[in-house]
Amino acid sequence: MKELNLKGTQLNTPEDSMLSLSWLVEPDTKFAPHKWKTDIVCPHGEASQKLGDDLDSVMVQLKKAIKAAYPEKTNEDLKEFIKWNTLPYSWGPYLDKDGNKRKGFPDDNYLVIRTNKKTHKPDGTPNGAPYIFDNRQQEPLNDTQKEKYTKIGPGTTAEVALYVFPYHKDVGSGLAITPSAINIKNFIAFGKQDNTAEGWGFKQDVAPQQGSGTPTASDFDF
């Protein structure tokens, strides 16, 4: 494969993007190579549509660069020659490995972005972890402050700064997307999701009863 002069770019997700399957403080070490990673689920809207268009534009530029690098090959030749890897973003429902909608993500038209960042570079030198902010200060959180976000539950909302870079290698061509920095907007600890009938996707025939004994903030004049 020819070495192409490809450059990455930073793109930011909408502020109402939801995180899922997140390993952002500690990397996922179950399989090698170890990685920080998170799925980002963006509700459909103007901001997510623009982000999707921007990601598409990076792919268009990659295809143009590959075509320019192999002027002797026809479009049909390139289809046989280039192995395109699965893109790390897509439009549609947010599904689990069995093809079912994940709990808490009922819509059918999300922009789903799968990101990861390896803990080490190919030469063995360590990569820096993604920066984490909590929407209250200008400086990234230190190691002690980040401990709160070790277990990020699905549905946590955040704006994520993505580093998007195209690649053209023997293993294939495509896009890689890493989470450079995460600004947490609304944190939900893992295991603290909505544990109501509605939260599990059930439709009840009766309305929730009032005054059932569970205190609310108004009971304490908050």
The Cα 72–Cα 187 span in angstroms is 53
In the prediction, which pLDDT does 199 show? Answer: 55
In the prediction, which pLDDT does 4 show? Answer: 93
Report the predicted TM-score, pTM, of the whole model to 2 decimal places: 0.84
Scan for tokens 């569970």, then name that residue.
Answer: 214
Give the tokens for residue 118. 């390896």
Is 183 strand, coil or helix?
Answer: strand
In the prediction, which pLDDT does 168 show? Answer: 95
Cα dihedral 163/87/111/97 (nearest 10) = -120
Q: What string of pLDDT tens digits covers the 222 residues of the chain?
A: 888 999 999 999 999 999 999 999 999 999 999 999 999 999 999 999 999 999 999 999 999 999 999 999 999 999 899 999 999 999 999 999 999 999 999 999 999 999 999 999 999 999 999 999 997 788 999 999 999 999 999 989 999 999 999 999 999 999 999 999 999 999 999 875 555 555 555 666 655 444 444 434 343 333
Q: What's CA 21's distance to the chain center, in Å?
A: 9
Give the tokens for residue 199. 């939260």
Alpha-carbon separation of residue 220 from 117, 214, 217 (angstroms): 45, 12, 6
CB 136 within 8 A of CB 187: no
Domains detected in the chain: 9-199 (2.40.50.140)
In the prediction, which pLDDT does 220 show? Answer: 30
One-letter amino acid at 148 equals K
In the prediction, which pLDDT does 215 show? Answer: 39
In the chain, what is the straight-line distance between the N-terminal and C-terminal CA atoms, in Å?
64
Containing 22, the helix (H) or strand (E) segment is strand 18-28
